[in-house]
A and B are shown apart, each in its own frame.
Chain A
Amino acid sequence: MRLDGAAPVGGGLQPHEIAEAGVALAMRLNDVRCCVLLVEHSSSARLRWAANTVTANTVSNTRNVTAIVCDDRSATRGAGGEKAGFRIGTVSRRVDRLDDVAALVEDASFAAHAAQPVEDEPRLFAPAQRQPSADWDRPAVIVAARALAALTPDLGEVLQRAAGYDRESFGQAQQEVVTTWLATSAGVSFRHEQPVATLQMSMLSHHRERSTWVGRAADDLAQLDPAGLERETTTRLAWQARRLELPPGRYEVVLPPECVADLMISLYLAADSRAAEEGRGPFARASGGTRVGERVSELPLLLRSNPFESGLGCAPQVVASSSSAISSVMDNGVPLLAQEWISDGIVQGLHTTRHSAARAAVPHRPAPGNLVLEKQRPGGAVDSADSAGGTTEDLAAGLDRGLLATSLWFLQEAAPEDLRLSGILRDGLYVIEAGEVAGVVSDRRFMEAPLDMLGRAVDAGATRRALGRDWGPSFSRTAMPALRVSGFEVGGATG
């Protein structure tokens, strides 16, 4: 195994040079059919606080280089005379110098020799234009500690106020930018900057008997408002003055956009065409085939992705460091376009790789890295976040008797066939009577299947950017409405 030696002054390669050199060196090796080089620089500044004081902080800069090599001795015939697939080797580590890049691609080639054949599209995606993107040779975006300075004065005041009012604040603030260079032997040269900023705040009071949480995501921390989040927590802690009992059962529940985000992300990642074709997952029909074309909600709901979505932008090309059920390294560089997954409550399509689309003879729909859920008005327009009504509180005010959730936690797959998820309704589950908060119940277990849930959605509010608490920064580019859902299964206390 090669060592990571010191980067000599002036001897280290720039990230785009590593990507270009890696492709060139890999293609000179014997038996290499095609290759992908991926360089990712992650730069972040974050801090964490607990009991009204900062407890940990980190500025982090790391660079990872992934070499993916496709072995050319791949056309081995299987027992039935069909192609048995081809071999892919992937190796990932930090490299700085040319000889380390050479060693990396050699190691990936060795890994390909030893790998099991996989069934996939045999050729890398070839772009129409083999021109590097305009910013190809720009350096990585570096996040400095001062990115947090946009928030820390206000946050400091929030913590001081909390201490003064006998409350305890906990939370974390983070700004990250991942800069990615993707080069393939088929001519892709693509650079992308992906920022994400998140602010999460828990507020506890009354000897930690009352507890609430709020969280927000944006591209830049300067867009977030600690005092605004603090005001939300103050309101919610006051709602917890009265503690109520609640037997387990099915209830009408208003889910804020944060909860809807967690459930929809899980649904999105399970919405792959191949699984449905093979009879697995929530989009498979029991009688065979997929649920494309089926109505899954009586509400005119639109579930869509668009890499160019204002405020939610993400990579406009496929970037895949590994193949899985829902992505393929052979699709690296494939352009990503706007997609509608569900429209007017009817399933329009599931995401595919080029290979799974060809196999199932369906349109190729690669999945962008963001997700939006909206309620369409007749004629297809949607309510903007500024339109009157449609907040979580508005939906709760329309409840005669039901529950209002705050956040979900610890989502786990309980049953893969319909994607039933178990988890915890955490940090504020309120009983609503005649449109008013009557009191709070303890944290509860819940069980819900997101696709099924859309079928029981009674109303949806206006869509705004929302951070799922459970998924957190790992999938932060989501915009969701509040949903009012009937028959939501609430379990026992978490104890």
Chain B
Amino acid sequence: MTDDAREPAVDQDFRALPLTAAADAALQYARELGVQYADVRVQRNRRSLIGLHDNHLAVASDDLDLSLGARVLVAGVWGFATTDDLSPESATRAVRDAVELALVSTPLARGRIALAPAATQADRVWTSAWRIDPFLVSRTDQIGLLEAWSAKLLGHRQVTHVDASLVMLKEQKFYASSEGSTTLQQRIMLHPEFTVLAVDREDWQAEVMRTLAPPCARGWEYLSDESGWDWAAELAALPELVAERLYAPSIIEGAYDLVIDPTNLWRTLHETVGHSTEIDRALGHEATLSGDTFASPLRLGDLAVGSELMNVTGDRTTPHGCATIGYDDDGVPATSWNIIEQGVLTSFQVDRANAAAAGEERSNGCSYAPSAGSPPMPRCANVSLTPHPQGPHTDELIAAVERGLFIVGDAGFGIDRHCLRFRAGAQRAYQIVGGEVRGQVRDVAYQSSTPEFWTALIAIGGPRTNVLGGTSNCSKGEPRDVAWASHGCPSALFADIPVVNTHTGAGG
């Protein structure tokens, strides 16, 4: 295994593709045509999925897609063309097709795009940080590890079934622009997950619970030496936890003080702030698909989203973050910025074409397409809630609660089309009585609306409570494209949040 651990670098077989030949031919042709701006991306994605049910292999796939995308700006209108033929002739044809498409689309363009300026990035190379390339681990060993851990879980009396899954992505991107920028990047991400089912046949009850380990940009070491997550502890504890919930009382609806663990809070942050501050959503581009947002560029510096304790940053720089990259698909270097400052909306997540619409002089680097087969659009960065530098530990937050719930792990989230009214489930919920955690309660979901919820934030944990959660399955666009993103949160205390019973409560 140590042979596979080497300094992360862009794989040689991607470098050996005719990247420069294709880009040079395409950009030369674009220059001859006199377009405002042009770029060429070559991207190769390798996606692997393994799924086990009760230790039997249920699904195993390993897909490779490689394509070239050429984007041009012609008199303020975009055109995009894609092909899986990497020859210089094909790249040139793609530019020609893109220019023709820009001209054909012009009657439908209401405004004209002006790209926010960006400094040239010549010959830049970047990789995410991994020690062991998981794609160099044999399929047998990958399945073997999932089988071994599944078997341990199945060995517990309380556990009836175990589902294990492992999603892995290796994304390799080459980008070259008419402004002289060239970037070469590789990142590796993975998301292992175990779900256990406990069944009480006497009472005919069943409960499901899954691991909380987040997706991250790491290598096989995430599993093999447990870098970044204590798998041994989580898997050892899971059977007792799911069994406990089997016999836990059902929640009584009402308003509760909630201490929310980062393993749950990341999801609420993703949906209420992550999506609501994507600039294209604010411009209405997703209105008939994912929906629109309460956040408007007209309310920058003015719209109160939460309490003064609420500081939210966007970034594509956090180590091991799933949206972390060196340079975005507009050639802009990754950076970090404030989205919410002391509860007030400060900025959006933008790309170069839409920076001005958000009152920004420059892009903050959120242009992204999961493959070179589709044009980039603003996608969610790592959006994180800032811990309080002298903030308390989770135990101290709990100690301050007379009657409340401690919420751990995300489950079953629903939100309306304006990023406002939402309902958030939980993997586990614990009663807090007189500052102490008692046993679990089941059927818990908290329900609120974005500004009401975040205004109820009355205490925020310190840096030691911070966990980088995230998703490997954020979809957007037409046709749907999937991206990964990470969200760091501390533990936090919210006052008087409505809690519903998902079993007996008002059907959603």
Interface residues of A (CB under 8 A from B): 1, 3-9, 12, 45, 47-63, 93-94, 96, 144-146, 148-149, 152-153, 155-157, 159, 163, 168, 170, 172, 202, 204, 208, 211, 213, 492, 495
Residues of B within 8 A of A149 (CB): 104
Checking A50, A58, A202, A492 against B507 with a beta-carbon cut-off of 8 angstroms, the contacting residue is A492
CA distance A172 to B103 in the complex (A): 17
Q: Are B83's CB and A60's CB within 8 A?
A: yes
Residues of B within 8 A of A63 (CB): 84-85
Contact of A51 with B375 at beta-carbon distance under 8 Å, contacts A58-B80, A153-B107 already known: no
Residues of B within 8 A of A202 (CB): 288
Contact of A7 with B90 at beta-carbon distance under 8 Å, contacts A51-B284, A61-B85, A62-B67 already known: yes
Checking B104, B285, B375 against A50 with a beta-carbon cut-off of 8 angstroms, the contacting residue is B285
Distance (whole angstroms) from the CB of A113 to the closest CB of chain B: 15
B97 within 8 A of A: yes
CA distance A144 to B88 in the complex (A): 19
Would you list 14 pairs from A and B whose C-beta atoms are within 8 A, ordered by A residue?
A1-B64, A3-B17, A47-B101, A53-B110, A53-B111, A54-B77, A58-B81, A58-B82, A59-B80, A60-B82, A144-B97, A145-B101, A208-B292, A213-B288
Distance (whole angstroms) from the CB of B289 to the closest CB of chain A: 8
Nearest-neighbor residue (CB-CB) of B283 within chain A: A51
Contact of A60 with B104 at beta-carbon distance under 8 Å, contacts A6-B18, A51-B285, A94-B66 already known: no
Residues of B within 8 A of A58 (CB): 80-82, 101, 373-375
Distance (whole angstroms) from the CB of B374 to the closest CB of chain A: 6
Distance (whole angstroms) from the CB of B267 to the closest CB of chain A: 19
Q: Are B101's CB and A7's CB within 8 A?
A: no
Residues of B within 8 A of A12 (CB): 87
Q: Are A59's CB and B81's CB within 8 A?
A: yes
Q: Enumerate the 5 nearest inter-chain pairs by beta-carbon distance, A residue then B residue, closest first.
A: A156-B107, A51-B284, A145-B101, A53-B110, A145-B100
Q: Are B288's CB and A204's CB within 8 A?
A: yes
Distance (whole angstroms) from the CB of A445 to the closest CB of chain B: 10
B59 within 8 A of A: no
B478 within 8 A of A: yes
Contact of A152 with B67 at beta-carbon distance under 8 Å, contacts A144-B100, A159-B110 already known: no
Q: Are A59's CB and B101's CB within 8 A?
A: yes
CA distance A45 to B103 in the complex (A): 13
Residues of B within 8 A of A9 (CB): 87, 89
B78 within 8 A of A: yes
Nearest-neighbor residue (CB-CB) of B110 within chain A: A53
Distance (whole angstroms) from the CB of A121 to the closest CB of chain B: 25
Q: Are B287's CB and A170's CB within 8 A?
A: yes
Q: Can you name 6 extra interface pairs (CB under 8 A) apart from A58-B80, A59-B81, A168-B287?
A: A4-B84, A6-B87, A57-B78, A144-B100, A155-B107, A170-B287
Nearest-neighbor residue (CB-CB) of A52 within chain B: B110
Greatest chain B CB density within 10 A among A5, A54, A94 is at: A54
Greatest chain B CB density within 10 A among A5, A49, A60, A144 is at: A60
Greatest chain A CB density within 10 A among B16, B78, B82, B84 is at: B84
Checking B83, B88, B101, B416 against A57 with a beta-carbon cut-off of 8 angstroms, the contacting residue is B101
CA distance A47 to B79 in the complex (A): 10
B508 within 8 A of A: yes
Q: Are B287's CB and A495's CB within 8 A?
A: no
B109 within 8 A of A: yes
Q: Are B478's CB and A172's CB within 8 A?
A: yes
Q: Are B284's CB and A50's CB within 8 A?
A: yes
Residues of B within 8 A of A53 (CB): 108-111
Which residues of B (201-226) have their CB < 8 Å from a CB of A?
A: none
Q: Are A208's CB and B287's CB within 8 A?
A: yes
CA distance A472 to B46 in the complex (A): 28
Q: Are A152's CB and B87's CB within 8 A?
A: no
Q: Are B109's CB and A54's CB within 8 A?
A: yes
Nearest-neighbor residue (CB-CB) of B88 within chain A: A6
Residues of A within 8 A of B104 (CB): 47, 145-146, 148-149, 152
Nearest-neighbor residue (CB-CB) of B376 within chain A: A56
Distance (whole angstroms) from the CB of B122 to the closest CB of chain A: 24
Checking A3, A5, A49, A145 against B97 with a beta-carbon cut-off of 8 angstroms, the contacting residue is A145
CA distance A51 to B108 in the complex (A): 11
CA distance A163 to B82 in the complex (A): 31
CA distance A312 to B110 in the complex (A): 36
Residues of A within 8 A of B16 (CB): 3
Distance (whole angstroms) from the CB of B46 to the closest CB of chain A: 9
Q: Are A7's CB and B111's CB within 8 A?
A: no
Residues of B within 8 A of A168 (CB): 284, 287
Distance (whole angstroms) from the CB of B34 to the closest CB of chain A: 18
Contact of A495 with B86 at beta-carbon distance under 8 Å, contacts A50-B286, A94-B66, A172-B478 already known: no
Residues of A within 8 A of B77 (CB): 54
